Structure 1
Amino acid sequence: MTVLTHIKNEPAEKSAAKDCDSIVVPDKPNLSGDWPNFFLLLLLYTMQGMPLGLAAAMPIILQSNKNVTYKDQALFSLVAWPFSLKLLWAPIVDALYVQNIGRRKSWLIPVQLLMGASFLYLSNNIDDMLPETGKPNILKLAYVFFAAKLLAATQDIVVDGWALTMLKKNNVGYASTCNSTGQVMGVMISSVFSVLLTSEDFCNKHLRSVPEKGGIVTMRSLFFVWGIIFMFVTILIAILKKEKDNRLEDDHVKLNIVQNYSLLWDILKLPSIRIIAVALLTAKIGFAATDSVSILKLIDAGVSKDNIMMIHTVMFVIKIVLPLVVAKYTSGPKPMSVYLKATPVRLVVNVALLALVYYTPKLITVNGVVDVPMYYYALLIFILSIHDIISNIMSVSTVAFFSRISDSRFGGTYMTLLNTLSNLGHAWSSSVAIGMIDLLTFKKCSLDPDNNCSTTDLQNTCKTNGGDCVIQVNGYYVETAVCTVIGIVWFGIFFKILKNLQIKSPSHWLVNVKPPTPIKEDDKNDKNTYSVIVK
């Protein structure tokens, strides 16, 4: 395919060689002079996290309504799809823009204004969609939150691409810090405010001296304030933040939409990317059972859902601070080394959580009554803290690696491709892990050895006859063991591969280009305009 590139008055052969071979990855990050950009990225990722937090909190709010069924929850769960599908429109975001506004601002400004408008729409309609009594309008909620998630996913494409050029080249590793910390801050703000601060029980128990009706804020007022903030911040960015003219960059290439989709395929054909794709799609198998099922098993054992939610709220603080602490390690030239060092620790945490789930019924039950002692919560917080810290370190390291290897000319598409592969690896392994638990669990009726309690009817028959379905083989333990073994095998296979990939020449991650030649008669007077072939 033929595209345009601007080379600063250099001979064609020299510039082509420069594009492919002589790009140097600085190994000494220094935020001096880059702090305003760092904090702007942090703000943008925080704004991105707020719709994500609301979408994550809404099932909890819905489940507290007795009129909501699991079928309704399944319908609302479709709002998570946009982040897994954003690769479909990432090339459009990279290819279409207004040069006078800026490549990234052309999308960022309207998208964030629409996000603000979504909050204002929710402010005016949330009481009808989510009444205090009666059945919520699940379909309408799903439509609105799907649209909000779609906008957040598009904003993610834009900000991921902008981060590669907004920060100095030696600081691009800090983009992962902004991403992880900012997104968690946004999720925490929106979920904590929308769930806890609007809860009458929570506010009366923890925030008020005299009980009152309702929370200290309402959903309607929260959405209104957030909508105004989104509008105000976006307008300030539009006015005050000047985007670099990407045409002045030495390696600038402009692609149309068709070429961008072809580019996506060209990136996937790079040998190193194919290896990374296999690693990303299989990396989460080792932790799938622990990440997806452990908390559910603790709740089944009798641990309060409210207390687990409170613990997770505290964990948000760790997730916010941790990326800043580990930034000096993940922003360097070898972020995957940090990931690989954390992997064995996370596999050990699998065993720790498995043991905790196994002993929980014995630790929290006294004479058949659930009475959770304080030392149990201390143990639970300790193990979950280690789990979240290691998981967060691995996430930050992965995003830092993506930022370092992504071709800034096609940043939105490149980063979105890598993030999509990572998200898909998590999504499919988690879904399979949850779905396989029942298949790997074997039960028998205590009064009838021939009744394996495999169906609802058989379970009801057992209970009607006065028996109990006793677990003979717990699928959680089997699955955790299998996943951990697979994780160990994965680590053995990819340890040297990933260590070697992160030190490869930058040309291994760039789309190959042929030497440029002038493209049009009209462009002969423009010494900076050439035709290049992207294979």
Structure 2
Amino acid sequence: MRTQSRPDSMAVSSSLSSIHISPRTPRTPRMPTLEDGEEDLELTLLGEDERQQAARDLGEQENQELLPESKRPISARDKRSMVLLCVLYLIQGVPLGLALGSVPFLLKEHLSYSQLATFALSSYPYSLKLLWSPIVDSLFIRSVGRRKSWIIPMQLIVGTLMLYISLNVQKLLDDPGNNVTELTVIFTMLVLFSATQDIAVDGWALTLLSQDCLSYASTCQTIGLNTGFFASFTVFLAFNSEAFAARWGVPQLSLSTYLRFWSIVCYLVTLWLLFFKKEDKEPASEADMSIKAVYKTIWTICKLKHVQLLILMHLFAKVGFAANEAATSLKMVEKGFRREDLAIAVLIDFPFQITGGWLAAKWSAGDRPLRPWMHAFWPRLIFCLIATLVVYWFPKPPITLGFFAFLIFHTVLSSFASTVQFVGISAFHTRVSDPLIGGTYMTLLNTFTNMGGTWPKWFVLIGVDLFSVAICRVPDAGMDVKVQATECVSDHGKQLCHEINGICTTEQDGYYIVSAICMAFGVVFLLAFILPTARKLQALPTSVWRVKMS
């Protein structure tokens, strides 16, 4: 596998000028045209009715070709494929919702932010899946199918792992301070196998959908992942709350029961795939690729100037939102916002996310899919600033109905902007990805997008504790004696303070410092690099994103 480039090819637009690969989303081919005489002869052999029908068919075909991609009707086959993709992405969203959402909230009352940073490492496999994606793309059982060869065993493992966790998770949560490492390892494995399934699903989306509907692959991902995340975050947190269960007269849902339910769902979907869903064969050129060839292709792609710019943009694009996404919700719960109220806010927001996914898919169709992605940066940064101010002026509980309505309104608008960005950048990735290495190319681009939102989280949570000043106040003979503590948030820190008859208080909250640093960097990087670079990359022809396969 080799790419040739001129030594003087330094500009973004010419980094692959010598490579000529057909566009990945070709228009529907036209029927071969007949010579005038042959066409007249052919028509004379038809009756009047047949000639009129032929003319109508030809006119409909030409009109269909002239329609833009966003206006063409979706076939029944594509609709069924979209439903399947949504279900497969849903299965990914369930463990991600637990690892990134519910479990940190369950642990927050017992752990410091630095300990939560350790647990946050469990989400890293989802962002590092590029490291083993060539294996997923190259090794398969031909009789089972290229993508099903990985999707089926991964879902069986995920289901079994959730069943195992359900039998052991309660004893780990009873003493999380001493089981942080074990909890991190268990959920890292769960995310690891879900990420492997995602590689295969991303690659299958490129051939499961027709060329005209490829932009909807990102919409299916948005709907599926959000639904799974919503179920594991919003629904579970609400039904897991004792206050919510007592208020609505429903049984309290334990984490163990929830995991057992989804393990059964995993098994059922996997059995249906195994016995009732046949996978179409893919081109032989893709099937015959060796693992070494795929890794070589990845290296070839990464050497392209415009890909390097895209990677750099992805790695730092989400820093401006990092503090808000990693710590704001935890801070609100810390200040008295009930978990079930947070769940209700996300519940109301969920249908707006789905609607936003469909709208963003429409906006991202065509030649400028990055336009909505760029436009959504400013509202997201503004919403991050508002969220920081909300934490600062958070009222003492119970909160009023008006303030709760404001939080819901803010959540809906903020998540809508986030969904627009997600669908926009995913549509751009789908447009430029080469189906000859479908899963690997998509995963390569998505890896750096995910990593841009993952790597800052550890630093944010560590920074909150690092910049915080915690004081243990010890009343002594009518006087307050201040004892500075390294951490006065976790059960361990509070216990040490309690042993000397003290009360933990925070003199300086590092959350505000970290939030200010992140937002300042986000604004500068957006103006100086993201906007001009995104416009250049979007203007490049699709062909320059291809690589020659040897």
TM range (shorter): 0.7 to 0.9
Query: Which residue identity is paired with 1:402?
Result: H
Distance 1:456 1:45, change over 3 A: closer
Q: CA deviation at 1:438?
A: 4.7
Q: Deviations over 1:336-376 (max 9, x none)?
A: 1001111111122233223323332xxx24xxxx4422221
Equivalent position SS for 1:303: coil
Are 1:507 and 2:543 matched, yes or no?
yes
Once the two structures are superposed, the pairs formed by residues 21-420 of structure 1 within 5 Å of their partners are 21=22, 28-29=69-70, 30=72, 32-33=74-75, 34-56=78-100, 59=103, 62-63=106-107, 76-119=119-162, 121-122=163-164, 126-131=166-171, 135=175, 138=179, 144-208=186-250, 215=252, 221-247=257-283, 252=286, 254-360=288-394, 364-365=395-396, 370-420=397-447
1:23: Cα distance to partner?
Answer: 5.0
Relative to structure 1, the CA distance from residue 104 to residue 476 in structure 2 (aligned partners, 3 Å threshold; closer, same or farther) is same
237 and 504 in structure 1: CA distance in 2 versus 1, 3 angstrom threshold: same
Does the CA-based 8 Å contact 1:25-1:506 persist in structure 2?
no
Distance 1:271 1:65, change over 3 A: closer
Find the aligned partners of 2:308 and 2:406 in 1 and give their Cα distance. Answer: 41
Q: Distance in 1 between matches of 2:262 and 2:192?
A: 18
Unaligned residue ranges in structure 2 (runs of 5+): 3-17, 28-67, 489-493
SS of the equivalent of 2:455 reads helix
Structure 1 residue 509: Cα displacement: 1.1
SS in 1 for 2:187: helix
- Check conservation: 1:109, 1:234, Cα contact below 8 A: yes
- 1:440-459 equivalences under 5 Å are 440=467, 455=486
CA contact (8 A) 1:174 1:331 kept: no
Deviation, structure 1 residue 143:
5.1
* Equivalent pair of 1:160/1:411 in contact (CA under 8 Å): yes
Q: CA deviation at 1:272?
A: 1.1
**1:503–1:133 Cα change, 3 Å:** closer
Q: 2:193 & 2:239 partners in 1: Cα distance?
A: 26
The whole-number CA distance in structure 2 between the counterparts of 1:72 and 1:483 is 21
Instruction: Report the Cα distance in structure 1 between the residues aligned to 2:143 and 2:295, rounded to whole angstroms.
Output: 24
Is 1:490 matched up with 2:525?
A: yes
Tell me if the contact between 1:163 and 1:175 (Cα under 8 Å) persists in the aligned partners: yes
SS of the equivalent of 2:144 reads: coil
Shift of 1:131: 4.9
1:192 shift after superposition? 4.4
Are the counterparts in 2 of residues 31 and 171 from structure 1 also a CA contact under 8 Å?
Answer: no
* Cα deviation, residue 207, structure 1: 3.5
Q: Which amino acid aligns with 2:520?
A: V
Counterpart-to-counterpart distance in 1, 2:151 and 2:436 = 18
* 1:103 alignment partner, SS class: coil
How far 1:235 sits from its partner (Å)? 2.3
Deviates more, 1:233-242 or 1:18-27: 18-27
- Deviation, 1:478, is 4.2
Further displaced range: 434-443 or 197-206: 434-443
How far apart, CA to CA, are the structure 1 residues paired with 2:487 and 2:24?
Answer: 63
Letter in 1 for 2:449: S
1:54-78 Cα shifts (integer Å, max 9, x gaps): 3345525753897x89898666544
Contact 2:113–2:461 (Cα < 8 Å) also in 1: no
Answer whether contact 2:117 2:461 (CA < 8 A) is retained: no
**SS of aligned partner of 1:232:** helix
Name the CA shift for 1:74/1:24 in 2 (closer, same or farther; >3 Å): closer
- Pairwise CA distance, 1:416: 1.4
Q: Distance in 2 between matches of 1:224 and 1:294?
A: 30
Q: Deviations over 1:439-478 (max 9, x none)?
A: 5557999999xx9958569x999xx99999785x764444
Between stretches 434-443 and 163-172, larger displacement belongs to 434-443
- After TM superposition, give the deviation of residue 44 of structure 1 in Å: 1.0
CA-CA distance at 1:135 after TM superposition: 4.6
- Change in 2 beyond 3 A, CA 1:230/1:305: closer
State how far apart, in whole Å, the 1-side matches of 2:248 and 2:204 are.
42
Which runs of no fewer than 5 residues in structure 1 stay unpaired?
A: 3-16, 209-213, 514-531
Q: Which amino acid aligns with 1:333?
A: D
Are the aligned partners of 2:360 and 2:420 in contact in 1 as well (CA < 8 Å)? yes
Q: Distance in 2 between matches of 1:42 and 1:160?
A: 12
- Runs of 4+ with >6 A deviation: 68-72, 442-448, 464-470
State which drifts further: 488-497 or 304-313.
304-313
Q: Between 237-246 and 336-345, report the one with greater CA deviation.
A: 237-246
Q: Percent identity?
A: 31
1:431 to 448, 458, 478: 458
Higher mean Cα deviation, 282-291 or 40-49?
A: 282-291
2:239 match: secondary structure: coil
Deviations 1:397-456 (A, max 9, x none): 1111111111111111111121211122112223323333455557999999xx995856
In structure 2, do the counterparts of structure 1 residues 469 and 509 end up closer, same or farther at CA, with 3 Å as the change threshold?
same
Q: Say how many residue pairs are matched.
A: 481
Answer yes or no: is the 8 Å Cα contact 2:470–2:487 preserved in 1: no
Instruction: Quote the Cα distance in structure 2 between the aligned partners of 1:75 and 1:480.
Output: 20
Query: Judging changes above 3 Å, is the alpha-carbon distance between structure 1 residues 176 and 78 closer, same or farther for their aligned structure 2 residues?
Result: same
Do the aligned residues in 2 keep the contact of 1:288 with 1:433 (CA within 8 Å)? yes
- Per-residue deviation, 1:132: 11
Tell me the CA shift for residue 199 of structure 1: 4.5
Q: TM-score, normalised by structure 1?
A: 0.77
